[in-house]
Each structure stands twice: as structure tokens, then as C-alpha cells.
Amino acid sequence: MDALNAIETRVKLPVALAVLGSLLWILMATATVIESDTYRYATVLLTLIGGYYSYTRLSFVRMHWAGWLCIAWTLYAVARFLLLIYSSPDRQRGASEWLYFFPLFFPFLGAALVVYRPYVSRILAGYFVLALIFLLILTDYRGILSGEPVTPMIQHNRIHGAVACGFMLIGAFFWMMHNLCHHAWSDWRLRLSVTCTPPIVLLSLLNIFGSKSKGVWMAMAITLPLIYLLAHGYMRARFIRVLGAAMAICLVAGIALFWGNIAQTAGPTINAIGATVQELSNSGDVSSAVHDAIRSEDTPLSMNERMQLWTNAWEIFRTSPVFGQGNDWLESWQKTEYANVGYTLLHNGYLEILVRHGLFGLTVFALLLAVFVDAIRRARRLGLMSLQAAHAYYASIAYFCLTLLSNSNNRLAIGESFFMIVAAIAFHCLILIEIQEKGWPEEKA
């Protein structure tokens, strides 16, 4: 009996728990629609479900070493945080430090996803129908067409909304590709995905444009060709080619229609970057080029503030490059050159990690990400995951990593819920791989 059939037949959920858990998984993903802490409550409940079934039905599956690494990292992060607080009660307590405690949930969320594997099609359908409804209702068509910056969905600001729309676009596209490749037209999953995906993709692109977030524009400009390269191998049917061509035409037409607005939004930043690169090539002094760019009146405000934030963060990182400064970093921030920049959200996810946990922390998270990607690769090879689902996973991670270059999305609800889902999928694959390779033990009479 293979792993997928074993889950279908050996793990039976009560109807009420099946419905509750499916709703919780949808709520985990709704941070892309409404920026709230709902996903955290869903995480706790799903962790309890995953822990229960790990003990009662999946106890024969050994926890992968990456799971133990997640637990060890969490204990390290919590102990360090408490030690610094205890050693000086008057010190500041950092900002968003709890984000680094979340790996504790990863392996248990993976177990929860295993037991809800038979309901994934319905969970995805529910989420994308919900996403389409919100896109149709909440898109500020008039504001976007007039060239005004808008905040997509129900998010705290337009950057958050743009990042969320990117996730919806990627997910919906590969959801449709999966159904086109695996189901007949008579199947409700195919009909629903073909109906929902084109408007989700187009409305997501429209909202990303309307957000005027240059960082998300850059991330999407790189991710869209990656999506094509991943998907072109199975985009052979005439219907798929026609649909893809229609989306491409709409994209090109949109760029042509709004080119003036695009150039007006991104032009000053591109010019300022070009000037900084030119000075750097002439002088070879990175610090001097950055400081000159900050002092220049030609540098746009958003770029200027980011350069100040990044300069401060780099200054802090250089004092503790290996392990970072933990929750002490805010105290050091007050002594940096541009401490009066106005806020401490670093607008770079990698620097967020480096100032707190240094190269050690960044290495641990990079190692976990490598394990996750390898788990997807192995699951795909064993037939436990479709190629389209694997491509959605890869493209989403690439997109998110690109957005981290210009914004601290790992400190947002979108980023936290994304980490939870990415980790859950990977650990779910690791569990299925072990069941596939070793088999489900015989039930005792």
C-alpha cells in the first residue's frame, strides 16, 4: 500500500474535525486577503491536531532530523531572548522576536497536513473562490485606472497587499495547471479552476500595478518568466496555449497602456540606482557611494529611507556578525548614524535575521529551506506530489525571497503564514516519503 492510499484508508477523521481542520487550513492562507492574526490561532489548533495524530496514528514515523533542528532552534531562540531580558530587565525587548520561535510548530503542522491530505482539493477550491470574491469586490478599479497608488485587499499598506496578490497569482496559475494536467473536463476541480484562475491572475496583476510597489514589481518581473520556464513543458494542449497567450496579451497591453505611469513611478529610483552604481564603479568605495546617495536630493524618499535603514542594520551586524545581537539590537540602533530615520522595520528580510541572529541564524534558516526544497523534489520523484504542485512551491519561494530584498515581509502576517505553510508542506512530504519507503505497519488484531 503506497503512502497516499495508506493515509486515505488508515487515517479517518470524524466529520466535524474534517470540516474544522479544512476551515483552519483556509484561514492559514487568508493572511493574503485580510492582514490579521487569525492564522496564528489556526496554527495553534492545527498543531494540536497534528500532535494528537502524530502520537495516535503516526507514531511509527520517526521525526526527521530537520524537525529536531526546528525544536532545537526554538529552544535556543527562546533561551537567548529570556536570558537577555533577565540579565537586564530595563533593556528594550526587541521587535517581532517571536517570529523566531515559530519553527517549533513546523513538524506538527506537517503531521496535520498529512491527515488532511484527502481534503486538499476542497481546501484549495475554498481558498481560491474566497480570493476571487475578495479581488472582485475590493479591487479599486477607478483608483488604479487613474494612476493613484492603492492598497490591495484588506492589508495595512499597499506593499503588503501587492505581495499578497503575487502569492494568489502564482498559486492560482499552478492550481489550474495541475487540474488541466490531471483531470477531465467533467471533473468539478478542473471546471472551477479554469473559471477562477484567469480573473484571479488578471486582477492580481492589476492590483500589483496599482500598489506602485517597485520592490514587488521587480520580484514579479523576475518570477513571471520563471513561471513560464517551469510550466512550458506541460503547456502543450491548444486550450492551455490559447489561455496563456490571452494572459500574455493582456499583460503586454496593460504595460503599454500604463507605461507613462510606470515610468513616472520607477524612473527616479532607477536613475538614482544608476547614479549610485556609477559612483561606486568610479570610487570603489561602497560606504561613500551610499552616503552620497543618502545626501543627494535626487534620491527618492523611499529609496533614501531604505538606504538609511540598511546602513544602520549593517553597522549593527558588523559588531556581532556570527550570532547577532538578539533582542539587544534596538539599543544599538539608537547609536547608529541614521537612528532618526523614523522607524526600525528594516525593509530587508535578510538583514532582519542578521541583526538578531547573525550568520549563524541565516545559515540555520538556509539549511531548513534547502531541506524543504529537497523534500519536495523527493516527494515529486516518488509520485507523492504533482509536478505542478512542486513548481508552485518553487515559484512561491523564489518570489518571496525576491520581495525580501526590499521589504521585511518575514515580519508580516503574510510572511509568517507563508513560512508555516511552506514548512507544513515540506514536513508532510517527509512523513509521506518515510511511509512510502518503509510501509505502514500491520494493524494488531
Q: What is the pLDDT of residue 239?
A: 65
Q: Are 218 and 236 within one domain? A: yes
Residue 364 lies in a domain: yes
Please tell me whether residue 137 adopts helix, strand or coil conformation.
helix
Q: What is the pLDDT of residue 267?
A: 72
Residue 339 lies in a domain: no
Could you tell me if 406 and 214 are in contact, meaning their C-beta atoms sit under 8 angstroms apart?
Answer: yes
Q: Are 168 and 290 within one domain? A: no
Q: Are 397 and 274 within one domain? A: no
DSSP state of 185: T
Residue 313 lies in a domain: yes
Q: Are 308 and 178 within one domain? A: no
- The predicted-structure confidence for 311-336, as pLDDT tens digits, reads as follows 999 999 999 999 999 888 988 898 99
How many domains does the chain divide into?
A: 2
Residue 335 lies in a domain: no
Q: Are 238 and 298 within one domain? A: no
Residue 341 lies in a domain: no
Range of the domain at 277: 263-318
Q: Are 252 and 194 within one domain? A: yes
Each residue's pLDDT, cut to its tens digit, for the chain (445 residues) gives 588 888 888 888 999 999 999 999 999 999 999 999 999 999 999 999 999 999 998 988 999 999 999 999 999 999 999 888 887 665 556 677 888 999 999 999 999 999 999 999 999 999 999 999 999 999 999 999 888 899 999 998 999 999 999 999 999 999 999 999 999 999 999 999 999 999 999 999 999 999 999 899 999 999 998 998 888 888 766 666 676 677 677 777 777 777 777 777 777 777 777 777 776 677 676 778 788 888 888 888 888 899 999 999 999 999 999 999 988 898 889 899 999 998 888 999 999 999 999 999 999 999 999 999 999 999 999 999 999 999 999 999 999 999 999 999 988 899 999 999 999 999 999 999 999 988 888 765 4
Could you tell me if 273 and 296 are in contact, meaning their C-beta atoms sit under 8 angstroms apart?
Answer: no
Residue 327 lies in a domain: no
Residue 329 lies in a domain: no
Other CB atoms within a 10 A radius of the CB of residue 142 amount to 9
Other CB atoms within a 10 A radius of the CB of residue 367 amount to 13
Q: Are 46 and 120 within one domain? A: yes
Distance CA 91, CA 155 (A): 32
Residue 422 lies in a domain: yes
Q: Which of 296, 318, 340 is the last residue of a domain?
A: 318
Could you tell me if 61 and 180 are in contact, meaning their C-beta atoms sit under 8 angstroms apart?
Answer: no
C-alpha cell at 128: 481560491
At CB < 8 A and 24+ separation, what contacts does 350-353 make? 350/404, 350/405, 351/310, 351/313, 351/314, 351/317, 352/96, 352/408, 352/410, 352/411, 353/324, 353/410
- In order of 4, 5, 204, 425, 434, the CA distances from 440 in angstroms are 11, 10, 43, 20, 9
